[in-house]
Structure 1
Amino acid sequence: MYQVGDLIAGYRVLEVLGHGGMGEVYKAAHPRLPRADAIKVLRSAHATDPVFRARFEREADLVAPLNHPNIVAVYDRGVYDGRLWIAMELVPGTDAGHLVDTLGPLDPRLAMAIVNGAAAGLDAAHRRGITHRDIKPANILVTPGEDAMVPDAVKLTDFGIAQALDEVTSLTGTGTTVGTMRYSSPEQIGGHRVDLRSDIYSLGATAYELLTGAPPFEAPSLHGLMSAHMFAEPPRATERNRTLPPGVDPVLQRSVAKNPDHRFQSARDFATALGDAFDTRKTLVGPTPTMPPPTPAPAPAQATPGAWPT
């Protein structure tokens, strides 16, 4: 593990940002430009493992062509001291998982801002034929804004096990062991071919946690957690957070439907439906019936600006 002041391919380490099962991430000064980037380095334990090396290189190759405000940009990659590295956009702030750990269930305004940003990034990746395969709160970076409910930035990161939709490679079978099981779709757990609707399942599980403080399924064992995703129905979100409006339940339940055909077919459709559930003027069931014109009445009082409907 590198220390502050060490050099990585000309980048000077300023801070250790974190480390996970696959790599370490550093804040590092750019060798020529007056800015800092995030440098991810493949852990030395995996330096010679061809599967981990392929995943690591794959992240850079798949994400580099994506240019979207809700996806962390990839700038460069290479090999230094025998270890693979990727230079990425440095996103100040924290991740959505840390926010939930710190605050518990998020205010719906903040939760929806995060879901909307993540959904926009996912749809952009899906349009390019890329599934993320590891959507979870920890992989959604959030930069706070002046208004606590309106982040300056929401960006998807860690496409380490991402896959092109039209590919079937040797990475497919091992992908589910890397993805966090709390948010993995039934088809991903079962080792079946996944498509963009698997990401929507994971985004639904993530939104469930943002709004309730806990993922939809919890179990004392990995096998129990896998079985829950495959066969169990999650508790209603309103049972875990009674401040939520009832319309949230059918939206979240549809997003984590066992059958991909029964889910929302785009991340934006899910985010829009979830946002509508917080608007008591809209309905989620059927078209608006035709009604006779009402008798004119005095205009209602204006709502307080910025107030969230209850």
Structure 2
Amino acid sequence: MEFSEALGASYRLGKRVGRGASGEVWQATDLRTGETVAAKILRAEHASDPALVERFIRERSILIGLRHPNIVAVRDLVVEGDRLAIVMDYIGGGSLRDILDRRSTLSPRAAVDTTAAVFRALAAAHEKQVLHRDIKPDNVLLLPEWLVGNPDACKVTDFGIARMITDRPRVSTGLLGTPEYMAPELISTGDAGMPADVYATGVLLYELLAGRTPFAGPGTDFTIAYRHVSVEVPNLDLPDQLSALLLRLLDKRPQNRPSAADAAATLTAMRPRLDGVPALEPASAPEDFVQTERRPPRSGASGRPRG
């Protein structure tokens, strides 16, 4: 679908800068201030769903009120004909996915710094009872000064969007989310709370260190997803403290995972001890995944927060 240059009365679209499962991201100009912003224009099937549009309007204040240095700020919501757009701060340094595509792995210190920022963003959102539900490198954006000592140069985007789009009547056999990052309880029961965001961020940390997610490998999306439930996390050659935390983040029992705030604090505290530790060579998928001896309980979601 082609869009005209204008977006509502206040914005003018520039170039398209990204495309994902839920829609396209465009660089735009705020005509009132002259500032460059980003406009995420949702797919037509979402914009034509009256219930979804109503949900976005109802939760507009929640999205706009979610403010933290490590969160991409939502500025506005535009409902215009068959278009639904979320206007947010423009972050010009690309995403963590771009970094992984270029570098494959990060040093433990860089990975810890980046993941701590993600956890700080989650902690701020969880304090307001807002879940993310789709943490992955594609949803972590970077300022150009990333990795030069600026803790605020890493920003999480798309809070709440995944849940609002998927939290509708659906066929019960469908998978919601990205299989490589889905918590075991989400796969077992289809319901998850804050520990599922923590788990997905643990997967992200593993990927930054190893160049691959822990359970990626041959098979269908369902096969990959079910490995979160049924197999052990493949080992990485890491400093003991970092390895121990990674296993806690990826514990199959949600009650055993730390909170986002605790994970951020732990990562920040271990940062000085990782100076000079080199990045790992990209890991390949194991020839055989080791089956877990015990399966997680079928519940464990902590309430039903927003997002």
Give the TM bin, normalised by the shorter chain: 0.7 to 0.9
Give 2:188's aligned residue: 190
Report the CA distance between 1:140 and its aligned residue.
0.8
**Which stretch shifts more, 188-197 or 24-33?**
188-197
Separation of aligned partners in 1, 2:269 and 2:173: 34
- The amino acid of 1:271's aligned partner reads A
Look up the SS of the partner of 1:38 in the other structure. strand
Report the CA distance between 1:82 and its aligned residue.
2.1
Say if 2:246 is the partner of 1:261.
Answer: no
Residues 104 and 234 of structure 1: is their aligned pair in 2 closer, same or farther, counting only changes over 3 Å?
same
Give 2:227's aligned residue: 228
Separation of aligned partners in 1, 2:146 and 2:178: 32
Report the CA distance between 1:180 and its aligned residue.
1.0
Give 1:209's aligned residue: 207
Give 1:161's aligned residue: 162
Look up the SS of the partner of 2:142 in the other structure. strand
Separation of aligned partners in 2, 1:228 and 1:35: 45
Determine if contact 2:117/2:151 at 8 Å carries over to the other structure.
Answer: no
Give 1:13's aligned residue: 13
Separation of aligned partners in 1, 2:91 and 2:66: 16
Among residues 239, 263, 276, which one is paired with 1:270 in the alignment? 263
Residues 279 and 174 of structure 1: is their aligned pair in 2 closer, same or farther, counting only changes over 3 Å?
farther
1:184-209 residue CA offsets vs partner (Å, 9 max, x unmatched): 10111223432211111011111110
Separation of aligned partners in 2, 1:38 and 1:19: 12
Report the CA distance between 1:45 and its aligned residue.
3.6
1:20-66 residue CA offsets vs partner (Å, 9 max, x unmatched): 22111111011211211111112224332346546655774432111
Count, aligned residues = 273
Determine if contact 1:187/1:194 at 8 Å carries over to the other structure.
Answer: yes
Give 1:136's aligned residue: 136
Separation of aligned partners in 1, 2:135 and 2:16: 23
Give 2:289's aligned residue: none
Look up the SS of the partner of 1:161 in the other structure. helix
Give 1:32's aligned residue: 32
Percent identity among equivalent residues?
Answer: 34
- The amino acid of 2:254's aligned partner reads P
Residues 275 and 260 of structure 1: is their aligned pair in 2 closer, same or farther, counting only changes over 3 Å?
same
Separation of aligned partners in 1, 2:188 and 2:56: 24
1:205-250 residue CA offsets vs partner (Å, 9 max, x unmatched): 1111011111111132112112201111110122xxxxx3233222
Determine if contact 1:47/1:84 at 8 Å carries over to the other structure.
Answer: yes
Determine if contact 1:133/1:162 at 8 Å carries over to the other structure.
Answer: yes
Separation of aligned partners in 2, 1:13 and 1:234: 44
Look up the SS of the partner of 2:234 in the other structure. coil
Determine if contact 2:210/2:236 at 8 Å carries over to the other structure.
Answer: yes
Look up the SS of the partner of 1:21 in the other structure. coil
Residues 274 and 237 of structure 1: is their aligned pair in 2 closer, same or farther, counting only changes over 3 Å?
farther
Determine if contact 2:215/2:227 at 8 Å carries over to the other structure.
Answer: yes
Residues 54 and 236 of structure 1: is their aligned pair in 2 closer, same or farther, counting only changes over 3 Å?
farther
Q: Aligned runs of 1:98-113 on 2, under 5 Å? A: 98-113=98-113
Separation of aligned partners in 2, 1:6 and 1:174: 39
Determine if contact 2:112/2:271 at 8 Å carries over to the other structure.
Answer: no
Separation of aligned partners in 1, 2:243 and 2:133: 24
Larger of the two Rg values belongs to structure? 1
Structure 2: gaps spanning 5 or more residues:
279-307
Residues 51 and 235 of structure 1: is their aligned pair in 2 closer, same or farther, counting only changes over 3 Å?
farther
Residues 211 and 146 of structure 1: is their aligned pair in 2 closer, same or farther, counting only changes over 3 Å?
closer
Determine if contact 2:109/2:271 at 8 Å carries over to the other structure.
Answer: no
Determine if contact 2:116/2:267 at 8 Å carries over to the other structure.
Answer: no
1:239-296 residue CA offsets vs partner (Å, 9 max, x unmatched): xxxxx323322211111111111111x1132233345556559xxxxxxxxxxxxxxx
- The amino acid of 1:184's aligned partner reads M
Work out which structure has the larger RCO, using CA pairs closer than 8 Å and 6 or more positions apart in sequence: 2
Runs of 4 or more off by more than 6 Å in structure 1? 171-176
Look up the SS of the partner of 2:134 in the other structure. coil
Report the CA distance between 1:79 and its aligned residue.
1.4
